[in-house]
Amino acid sequence: MLSLQEIIYRFRYALSIVEPGALAIGRFSCPVCGAGLLLRISRDPIGVRCLGCSASAITLSMVSVLVAERPGFRSERVYELSSRGPLFGYLRREVGNLTFSEYYDDLAPGALRDGVQCQDIQQLTHPDASFDLVTSTEVFEHVADDRRGFAEIRRVLRPDGAFIFTVPIENADRTVERAVLSGGTVQHLLPPAYHDDRIRGKGAVLVFRDYGRDIAARLLEAGFSAARIESRFERAFLDTGRGVVVARA
């Protein structure tokens, strides 16, 4: 059951992104909740939603790839880098051994806030080889040192583990750095870009980079044995979706 605060947040967010010319509705089978209707209020993947669970086309793509690539995930040790949203709700229902966290700027890694552990992806407190699977949606574009973050994810994965996640990926060969963190100070290389965040608010989280297709190479450099962008669901949900990155430990 959604809280009143969550219902209000979703309603306000929908109003802020609606594109009248993009409105459409279609039948489908939701991989998250099993509902049968899909609504498009904008042409951005975040604007395509299941009417049952409100999962966006990003989450729908993510779960579709997860089920296809890791069919035994329900019995595995899973770490999700969030504590809210349709993906988290799905994993909490489906997975028996689920660990989750958030990043709080004012909390030390490992500390708890309202029962949720704070973790900095760049310096996880989890022991080596703790998980079979790590998942996230739209996180790593906001990580100052993503290579260090990728290496940390690889460290906490078991030898046969996988990291399945999404980030916005441009139609470009190479990743473009928008900002860097140097000596604790952010230096902008391009005009600042920000994304919305359920904890910090609308337009509150800095985008450090625009990923290109070389994200797979960045994961290999961080120690993964294989990495690719799975694109089969990029246009599966009212002609939209998201490429999903699959990396093997």
Give the domain ranges of the chain. 56-248
pTM: 0.92
Q: Is the per-residue pLDDT at 146 higher than 90?
A: yes
Residues 138 and 195 sit within 8 Å (Cβ to Cβ)? yes
Q: Distance between CA 21 and CA 6 in Å, rounded?
A: 27
Reading the block at residue 152, the tokens are 């940390």
Tokens of 9: 């947040």
Q: Is the pLDDT of residue 226 over 80?
A: yes
pLDDT value for 19? 81
Contacts of residue 71, Cβ cutoff 8 Å, sequence gap at least 6: none
Superfamily of the domain at 56-248: Vaccinia Virus protein VP39 (3.40.50.150)
Q: Hey, is 150 helix, strand or coil?
A: helix
Q: Is the per-residue pLDDT at 7 higher than 60?
A: no
Radius of gyration in angstroms for the set of CA atoms belonging to the chain, rounded to a whole number: 18
Asked which of 102-111, 194-203, 205-214 is least confident by mean pLDDT, the reply is: 194-203
What is the number of other CB atoms lying within 10 angstroms of the CB of residue 60? 28
pLDDT at 126 over 80: yes
Give residue 4's pLDDT: 61
- Rounded-to-integer distance, Cα 61 and Cα 126, Å: 28
63, amino acid identity: V
What is the spatial distance between Cα 221 and Cα 145, in angstroms, rounded to a whole number?
Answer: 13
pLDDT for 12 equals: 66
Position 202 pLDDT exceeds 80 = no
Residue 197's pLDDT is what? 77
Other beta carbons within 10 angstroms of residue 5's beta carbon come to: 8
Query: What is the model's pLDDT at position 222?
Result: 97
pLDDT band for position 13 (cuts 50, 70, 90): low
pLDDT for residue 1 is more than 60: no
Q: Are 241 and 233 in contact, with CB atoms under 8 Å apart?
A: yes
Q: By mean pLDDT, which of 2-6, 91-95, 145-149, 199-203 is the weakest?
A: 2-6
Average pLDDT for 43-70: 95
Residue 116 corresponds to which amino acid? V
User: Is the confidence at residue 47, as pLDDT, over 80?
Assistant: yes
pLDDT of residue 22: 85
User: Over 60: is that where the pLDDT of 2 sits?
Assistant: no
Alpha helices in the chain (DSSP H): 4-17, 57-69, 86-94, 146-156, 215-221
